[in-house]
A = this chain, B = another copy of it.
Amino acid sequence: MKIIGENFIGDKISAKGNSVFSTFNPKKNVSTPWQFTEATPNEIEEACFLAYQAFKIYRKTKDNERALFLREIANEIDTIKELEEVYCTESGLSKERFQTEKERTLFQLRMFADFLESRNWRNEIIDNQAPILKKTYIPLGPVAVFGASNFPLAYSTAGGDTTSALAAGCPVIVKSHPMHAATNDLVAQAILRAVKNTNMPDGVFSSLNGISHQTGQALVLHRHIKAVGFTGSVQGGRALMDLAAGREEPIPVFAEMGSVNPVVISNLSLERKALFWAKAYADSISQGGGQFCTSPGIIIAEKNKHFDNFARLLSTELNKIETACMLHPNIKKQFINKRDHIIALDSVRSLSKIKKEHDNYIQQSVVIVDGNSFLKNKALREEVFGSFCVLVECKDQYEILDIIESLEGQLTGTIIAEKEEDIQDLKEVFQYRVGRLILNGVSTGVRVCKAMHHGGPYPASSTPFFTAVGTDAIKRWIRPITYQNFY
């Protein structure tokens, strides 16, 4: 299968623009051989109009027809021989990670197919008093999807947003992530083959390239786009939220913008299980180079010898782990800037000796700061995207609660405690700051299922009402309607 490098406007390939770009191989620290042409304003207009036309047909498809379509997408992706190599080349991620992520992508497509075939997934409600009322859900219209830099498959072209939007009955226009446009190219071709194989309307899926902000902005502002899915930074997500809110017809932006995923460890857990948790957290912090939205970035505990011991163990464990290749030189640069800014603060003590970080590799590391300084410095509460963790030593439990209360919205929060400890006050405060509260575990690893909530108060998500993972993710693309007197 060939990488085409053009925009996919429905079943048409198109490269009318003059601006081209390549992706990058972070492990070899060189550009990839593939070139992509940015979409022009006319091509964007064309894709949006085609999606608008396709919506009129696609919204009438039956649930089982869309289920078939999703399964066909999964099957087509599964046949792309070049996918592993292209994915690994563009992302610096491992073959094992590719396998996991591909399986997750196929699983999501098939899960939504099953979901569409399940009984009354729309939760239709009928009130039989006269006049009879039936409440159900209908799709919103064409959706623009912005893929994640850190999930070239599972949260990109055929990822959670696209899959749930297509399941809902909404056409999708993907803005390919400029760091993995070749992976997008292959997956987009697979989706378009599935469109043909299952007789879905032309324009139900398009993919546009763009390395500048213009392509994305034009999509969000387009009158035919009715909702936006985004996974990325707070800065990027907020920019799209502001654009969408300022439209003549404001539209929802579902932005999953990451978080620092704070962890509170109890005294007893530190005393009894310091090594166990140090190993678990070294593992979690370093997973995928820390480039997960659920990567733990803050660990809070009372200052005492047990926390000192834990800090030492954690830093030792992290030192054992090989340096990690970041997704892109820009991501490494941002990581280094933010981390080194924090390390340079007077109140911060680094627990890891940073050795030479060649090319796009970074070293996993931890620092420690006292609770009072943490409360005073906003930079310490902001996400450092990559393997880096701030340990916060507090003078007492009240300071821990103060810190939790001072946090912005988070995707996850974690409490590590022993059975006999009373965690009620902490749980009470913590739950109002997070979308998922975990007891005695790690925040990385998000199970894809009905009971999952992946989202949280702003700025973890643009809106706290919806999840980006699991079957409830479909609720972002459908809205209620009541039919009166129709039955």
Q: Which residues of A contact B (CB under 8 A)?
A: 59-60, 125-127, 129, 131, 133-135, 138, 140-141, 241-242, 245-246, 249-250, 252, 408-409, 428, 431-432, 434-441, 447, 449-453, 455, 457-459, 462-467, 472, 475, 479-486
Contact = CB atoms under 8 A, between A and B. Distances in A.
Contacts of A485: 438-441
Contacts of A250: 241, 245, 458, 462
A450 B125 contact: yes
B482 A451 contact: yes
Contact of A249 (B125, B458, B466): B458
B458 A480 contact: no
Contact of A484 (B59, B439, B481): B439
Contact of A135 (B134, B438, B450): B450
B133 A452 contact: yes
Nearest to A423: B486
B451 A135 contact: yes
A396 B424 CA distance: 67
A469 B465 CA distance: 19
A480 B449 CA distance: 14
A453 B482 contact: yes
A89 to B, nearest CB: 35
Tell me the dominant secondary structure on chain A's binding face: loop
A135 B436 CA distance: 9
A129 B482 contact: no
Copies of this chain: 2
Q: Which of A434, A436, A480 has most chain B Cβ within 10 Å?
A: A480
A148 B455 CA distance: 33
A138 B441 contact: no
A111 to B, nearest CB: 13
A276 to B, nearest CB: 15
A479 B126 CA distance: 25
A140 B467 CA distance: 16
Contacts of A246: 242, 245
A428 to B, nearest CB: 7
A437 B484 contact: yes
A-B pairs with lowest CB-CB distance, top 10: A127-B451, A245-B245, A453-B482, A464-B479, A133-B451, A438-B484, A436-B482, A135-B451, A453-B480, A439-B485
Nearest to A134: B451
Contacts of A453: 135, 480-482
Nearest to A475: B465
Nearest to A440: B485
A431 B434 CA distance: 36
Given A125-B451, A241-B250, A441-B485, 9 more contacts: A125-B450, A245-B250, A249-B409, A436-B483, A437-B484, A438-B484, A439-B486, A452-B482, A472-B480
Contacts of A486: 437, 439
10 contacts: A129-B447, A133-B447, A242-B246, A431-B483, A435-B481, A436-B483, A436-B484, A438-B485, A439-B486, A453-B481
Contact of A252 (B408, B451, B463): B463
A224 to B, nearest CB: 13
Nearest to A132: B451
Contacts of A465: 252, 465, 475, 479-480
A441 B131 CA distance: 9
A259 to B, nearest CB: 14
